[in-house]
Structure 1
């Protein structure tokens, strides 16, 4: 018997769903719903958001919420696009494309630090909301002068985004789960353990003692700037000549 081929599910997005007639719209607006969702997400992360909790927070029945979004995935699309509105991309004037792209990278990083719940959402859905498309259009313009088109441009844009999302996500996780403990705090806690492993791993323990004795914020800034400069240099080196 021939195996039945499973039908491929058509991708869906809140941005492509046809708008409903205004006369049917409840008093509760989409902006209010996204505002409440962001409050939950910023306070408790992705696990803190549910349609039930959102309805309770809004003092509204599920009907009003589901009029605007059919499920949590659509709600997250709206929330992600809302915070993408915080990202700024400098025009490539004066300093050239590298300064403009670096400005975008730092702005994206700042947004992720404010909203670390965004990290797992990047790449789940195409970024096609109004704020995201504005940012992506400006990033393409920021790369003017680099001489990149087609897949070369796509690869460069993806490389910048992947670096920032990875670095900022890791930084946010560290800062949010360590209760603002400094490197020196950790050195004090780890001192007996480092002494125990020093004979087996002398280079590592010396490195930890050196780096963690520094101000944590300064280490994170230097690390991010170093990585970003390496990424930009790599893009420069691979530009078509």
Structure 2
């Protein structure tokens, strides 16, 4: 039988011909294919066409590489989700900001894995994240909120966005590992006899506990409504009291002075 020819080997790059920037870019490319969890130094070396020692020269372990990738992910995230002042209404600004955060994570699952699930960042990007929160607090406090109310309101928006995104991402990752995997809301047994209300809601397209767009909108509206009430209450309490003019009593007429005649 004719002997099978071995496939041509991929040419190795010369040692020192790669830099950290190119390694990080290649790691993102590979993570898009295999995921962050399955990323490894040897596989990355083959993807870049370099020996694994060339990667270890800059990143001593995988965790160091993931930290560098997280810093890059946060830079991309901050650019895509920065609070803008396209509207004069604080509510519209915060609404758009929340949807930008959610959209950035849903359209790029690698950002979600690195920023939310792994959540390890360098000092520079940790400071960038703090600056974004600072701007949001300043924006809310200009509307009259106290620091505490502004902090709680923005934290609630962040938690709502991240919670919905992480739940959806974890479900997608479980489904990738097991095609038959279902989310919690998909495991509910709903029957007309035992749970008529759930059955009626399901017939109208409602899925209990699902991190879908409809539930996200409902939760976000509740947070914004509450924040709006806090702003209105603050405006009411800060209104200056109306001044009432005190009615002055008519001045008493003084008796005319008579000049004493000098004795002649």
TM-score by length of 1: 0.64
CA distance in 2, matches of 1:114, 1:129: 25
Partner of 2:29: 39
Return the structure number with greater helix share: 1
CA distance in 2, matches of 1:66, 1:156: 44
> For the Cα contact (< 8 Å) 1:88–1:135, is it kept in 2?
no
Distance 1:120-1:39 versus aligned 2 partners, 3 A rule: closer
Structure 1 counterpart SS, 2:158: helix
Partner of 2:167: 170
Q: Please point out which of 170, 185, 199 is paired with 1:205.
A: 199
1:57 has 2:51 as partner: no
1:231 has 2:228 as partner: no
Partner of 2:61: 71
Q: Please point out which of 13, 27, 43 is paired with 2:17.
A: 27
1:19-55 CA-to-partner distances (Å, cap 9, x unmatched) read xxxxxx9331222112221122222322221122112
CA distance in 2, matches of 1:74, 1:156: 34
> For the Cα contact (< 8 Å) 1:55–1:62, is it kept in 2?
yes
Bigger relative CO (Cα 8 Å, ≥ 6 apart): 1
Q: How many residues align?
A: 198
- Which has the higher Rg, Structure 1 or Structure 2? 2
What's the Cα RMSD here?
3.6
Distance 1:35-1:145 versus aligned 2 partners, 3 A rule: closer
1:129-183 CA-to-partner distances (Å, cap 9, x unmatched) read 44x644542442233332267666554443322211111233345567779xxxx
CA distance in 2, matches of 1:236, 1:75: 43
Partner of 1:124: 119
1:112 has 2:105 as partner: yes
TM-score by length of 2: 0.60
1:90 has 2:83 as partner: yes
> For the Cα contact (< 8 Å) 2:66–2:114, is it kept in 1?
no
Q: Please point out which of 94, 103, 113 is paired with 1:101.
A: 94
Partner of 2:158: 161
Distance 1:109-1:145 versus aligned 2 partners, 3 A rule: closer
Deviation at 1:233, TM superposition (A): 3.2
Structure 1 counterpart SS, 2:37: helix
Q: Please point out which of 113, 125, 131 is paired with 1:137.
A: 131
Structure 1 counterpart SS, 2:218: helix
Structure 2 counterpart SS, 1:200: coil
Distance 1:205-1:140 versus aligned 2 partners, 3 A rule: same
- Please, which runs of 5 or more residues in structure 1 have no aligned partner? 1-24, 180-189, 214-218
- Please, which runs of 5 or more residues in structure 2 have no aligned partner? 1-14, 177-186, 235-264
